[in-house]
Amino acid sequence: MTAPLFDDQPGAVICRAYGSMSRAAVPSKHGTYCAVLDLAPLPAQQESDHATVLRGAAVDVGDRWAFFDDLATAASFARAGRMSNLTPSWDLFEAAQVRAYCPEHGGEELALLLGRQVYERTELRTLANQFAATAAETLSWSS
């Protein structure tokens, strides 16, 4: 799918740029995503006067999306989730969260852009190991 990249359009607002192509509006901790859509390549991480783009990863947890600023953390979350009794897809994607003020609706709007899906076992295992190593290090530092 070809969609406008946010950084190309300083005047664009999320609802206009992405709204019509969205999968669904879903709540998140940071607010409601007014758009969730597949968009490759993802825009680069950036912060400007009109928009903030945060790169990371997202996991499909059924009626909502979990966003992480780190792929290894998201991969571990998805892996652990698959071992639970919950039944969403736990699909893992490289992702970007875009936040911008919309003058039309008088508030901040949030979109979740999904890039490459990460599903290869070897890559998932590597990411989970990476997370485990980092987490172990963090624990030993704080004790």
Binding flag, residue 40, Zn ion (CB under 5 A): no
The dihedrals phi and psi of 142, each to the nearest 5 degrees, come to -85, -10
Taking the C-alpha atoms of residue 138 and residue 143, their distance in angstroms, rounded to an integer, is 9
Which CB sits closer to Zn ion, 36 or 66? 36
Of 3, 5, 15, 54, the one binding Zn ion by CB under 5 A: 15
- Number of chain residues interacting with Zn ion (CB under 5 A): 5
Of 30, 105, 132, 133, the one binding Zn ion by CB under 5 A: 105
Minimum CB separation of residue 82 from Zn ion in Å reads 36
Q: Which residues contact 111 (CB under 8 A, 6 or more apart)?
A: 14, 17, 18, 22, 33, 34, 35, 36, 37, 97, 98
Of 9, 82, 104, 138, the one binding Zn ion by CB under 5 A: 104
One character per residue 55-94, x = contact with Zn ion (rule: CB under 5 A): ----------------------------------------
Minimum CB separation of residue 22 from Zn ion in Å reads 12
Of 3, 102, 108, 130, the one binding Zn ion by CB under 5 A: 102
Which CB sits closer to Zn ion, 69 or 104? 104
22 and 37 in contact (C-beta within 8 Å)?
yes
Binding positions for Zn ion, rule: CB under 5 A: 13, 15, 102, 104-105
